[in-house]
Amino acid sequence: MNKKYTLLLLSILFDGIGMLSFVIPMVGEFSDIIWAPLSAFLIYKMYKGVEGKVGSLVTFIEEIGVFGTDFLPTFTLTWIYKYIIKKDKED
């Protein structure tokens, strides 16, 4: 499997982890405190360049739950932007 599709699978997995906070109400909010910086770091490492920098900022804000955005699949949306909208073929 090439890097492009490995990133897609990891993106779906990490979005799933981020959505686990909905499963256990009180514990879930606490887990966002840990998951927000970790997810920002992961997306920064997975998607180099502008996508990684913008993605890390967006995922941090989203996972903290600002503006009720905790449900967004930021990792997967970043992959869609990079490989479908932007049509990046480098990987």
pLDDT tens by residue, 35-48: 899 999 999 999 98
Alpha-helical (H) ranges within 20-91 are: 25-46, 49-64, 74-80
| Residue whose tokens read 């989203």 | 62
Residue 90: per-residue pLDDT = 62
Report pLDDT digits (tens) over 51-60. 999 999 999 9
In the chain, domain spans? 3-85
Per-residue tokens: 67: 């503006």
- The model's pTM is 0.85
Greatest CA span in the chain, whole angstroms?
42
- Among residues 85, 79, 84, which one has the least CA distance to residue 14? 79
